[in-house]
Amino acid sequence: MRKVRYKRKICMAVITAACGLMVLAGTVPAQSKGQVLMKLLPEVTDWAQSEDAQIYFPENLFEYINGAAEIYLSYDFHELIVAQYQKKGAESSMAVEIYDMGSPTNCFGIYSAERYPENPFIPIGVQGYMEEGSLNFLVGRYYVKLLCFDCEDESERALKGFAESMVTRVDDKGGLPGLLAAFPDEGLVANTEKFILNNVMGYGFLHSGFMASYRLGDQAFDCFVIMGKDDKDAQTMLDRYLEAKGKSPLKQRSQGYIIQDKYYHNIYIGRTGRYLCGVIKIKDGFEKTGEKYLTSLMRNLETR
């Protein structure tokens, strides 16, 4: 398990100068920004903070999670607070990480990128899951990670106690993104839904996309919903996608297009209002499945 590390090599003269420049520029000092997350730190009986909490921002997140910062930044990460707790009279310690992702949707995005369908999920916040010595969950715009060290048999109880204390401190607890309701229920593999803010399916012009995995007997495929800023933006994304697939065999249907692709097999894609939607990885011989799910997606989106 990753150990929590802090770096304290910043000269006070540099801090003072930086704060002065921020005041002149009309920005808020890091210490003031951190007060919001400070209020979310849990209070648990028989536990106390063992050292000052640390605050991280986009420009220095790599100092804490070097090698993993890029994926958080790709979801418009705002701020992180890290706090260490020690249990009174025991060796047990707890690390608390609270990531402010700016919005509930972006929060779901980073959470969905790190969870696995087989994780043991628990009803905490919007959703959470436990692994050995850790508990990850999302609530509102916050993605929370708890890591328990030397907790032994008390690990689960301690983790849940910290999580419950923090959830009560969040005013807008939010919920799962509403667009997830557009995905058909039949064949949906539970907890495979993901949100991708940028570079959906590897294309820089596709943004704000939801993906979900399906299985029907021997068939495995994915459905997607991409949210444009408005109708024009959605049509522009569709036009650019069709252009990018220009060399692939393409058929037009009343509800969209069918594209044969060497990676995604048969792709079914259409647009309704500000939304693009479709089905990928439909193999030859199962075309009716692609048509059925594209029709369902478009119908569900039209009723929004």
pLDDT in tens, 220-258: 999 999 999 999 999 999 999 999 998 888 888 878 999
- Are 138 and 188 in the same domain? no
Strand partners, 127: 138
- Are 127 and 213 in the same domain? no
- Are 266 and 233 in the same domain? yes
Tokens of 170: 């969040």
pLDDT at 10: 32
pLDDT at 207: 98
Q: What is the pTM of this model?
A: 0.86
Rounded Cα–Cα distance for residues 54 and 106 (Å): 22
- Are 209 and 282 in the same domain? yes
The enclosing domain of 131 has a CATH number of: 3.40.1000
* CA neighbor of 294 nearest in space, from 260, 266, 256: 256
- Main-chain dihedrals φ then ψ at residue 184, nearest 5 degrees: -60, 150
Beta-strand (E) ranges in the chain?
47-49, 54-56, 79-87, 93-100, 121-122, 127-131, 134-139, 142-149, 194-200, 203-216, 219-227, 250-253, 256-261, 265-272, 275-282
- Are 238 and 281 in the same domain? yes
Answer with the one of 167, 193, 216 that is the final residue of a domain: 167
Rounded Cα–Cα distance for residues 231 and 8 (Å): 49
At 243 the three-state DSSP class reads helix
Domain assignment present for 14: no
At 283 the three-state DSSP class reads coil
Rounded Cα–Cα distance for residues 277 and 271 (Å): 6
Q: Which run of H or of E encompasses 161?
A: helix 155-167
Q: What type of residue sits at position 105?
A: T
The enclosing domain of 231 has a CATH number of: 3.40.1000.20
Domain assignment present for 49: yes
- Are 101 and 61 in the same domain? yes
Q: Which run of H or of E encompasses 289?
A: helix 287-302
pLDDT at 246: 85
Domain assignment present for 286: yes
Q: Is residue 276 within 8 Å of 284, Cβ to Cβ? A: no
Answer with the one of 167, 202, 236 that is the final residue of a domain: 167
Rounded Cα–Cα distance for residues 222 and 119 (Å): 20
pLDDT at 247: 81
- Are 234 and 105 in the same domain? no
- Are 146 and 188 in the same domain? no
Strand partners, 97: 82, 145
Q: What is the DSSP letter of 189?
A: P
Domain assignment present for 91: yes
Domain assignment present for 23: no
Residues with Cβ within 8 Å of residue 298, at least 6 apart in sequence: 255, 256, 270, 272, 277
Chain length of the chain:
304
Tokens of 75: 């979801």
Tokens of 157: 């109880």
- Are 255 and 287 in the same domain? yes
Tokens of 245: 């697939």
Domain assignment present for 18: no
Answer with the one of 143, 167, 191 that is the final residue of a domain: 167
Q: What is the DSSP letter of 210?
A: E
- Are 67 and 123 in the same domain? yes
- Main-chain dihedrals φ then ψ at residue 164, nearest 5 degrees: -65, -40
pLDDT at 253: 82
- Are 163 and 39 in the same domain? yes
Question: What is the span of the domain harbouring residue 205?
Answer: 178-302
| Integer CA distances (angstroms), 122 to 27, 127, 128, 148, in order | 39, 7, 5, 17
For the chain (304 residues), the mean pLDDT of every run of 10, in chain order, is: 36 33 37 79 95 96 94 97 96 97 98 96 96 96 97 93 96 96 98 97 97 96 98 97 88 88 94 97 95 96 89
Which residue pairs from 24-30 have beta carbons closer than 8 angstroms and sit at least 24 positions apart in sequence? 30/55, 30/57
Domain assignment present for 36: yes
pLDDT at 11: 33
Task: Report how many domains make up the chain.
Answer: 2
Domain assignment present for 21: no
pLDDT at 33: 65
- Are 189 and 72 in the same domain? no
